[in-house]
Structure 1
Amino acid sequence: MAQSAPPARKAVLVVEDEPIQRMMAVDMVEDAGFEAVEAYSAAEAIQVLETRLDIRVVFTDIDMPHGIDGMRLAATIRDRWPPIEIIITSGKMWGRSLKLPDRAVFFPKPYRRDKVIAEMERMVADVTS
């Protein structure tokens, strides 16, 4: 009898310029059962999105160097890849001044892993159902 391949893990793109923060976010994503794909900048994230058609969720920090911050990245994703879900995080207090793209969710740092994972699971379930 032929064995079927195990279902592919859903891919989450983690965009964070701080190596320690990125490593912790990648661990969180992988511990939740997702495939983590890493990018250190918004520009690198766009390159990944142009080549990886399996990304379902982008988890990005707002504050990043090299010209494009997480908010501009989120707007670009919503414009170019509308089905991709977006989670935005930041250690700064943004309050009501933060204008999120449609369907994007914000978590202030330090975020609760269980809350972020639950949101990722909800987003992936919405995409696949």
Structure 2
Amino acid sequence: MRVVPRNVLRGVVTAVAAAAVAIGMSAGTASANGTTGWYKLCSKGTYMSYIEYGVQGSSRPESGGTSFIAFPGQCVPIYMDGTPVDVYMEYDNGGRKNLGRAWYQANIATTGYKATAAWSFF
């Protein structure tokens, strides 16, 4: 059995720890679930999806806008402050379907095809 010097082991452990920290920090800027802050709306389905704030008077920072739009395959930043948001999908002809109401501060993903559209937290 070969013996590895301690300083080599220490260097490997330090490099692995530094890589883990770098990967964790680059994963995104989303807030911890359940707290006010910036999250993501991701359209993982074959349709455009968007959210609208269901209750007026929240502390959200965007000026004048009440919705965030994500095109198929894209994620966009959304601000969640505990105000409920309605999650929608849009048909090609401009019609829309309400997929439900999100009340919890977390990332939101819409999934599926237009006929089987759904959403979930992630």
TM bucket by the smaller chain? Answer: under 0.3
* TM-score for the superposition, normalised by structure 1: 0.23
* TM-score for the superposition, normalised by structure 2: 0.24
Normalized per residue, the structure richer in strand is: 2
The one of the two structures with greater contact order (alpha-carbon pairs below 8 A, sep at least 6) is 2
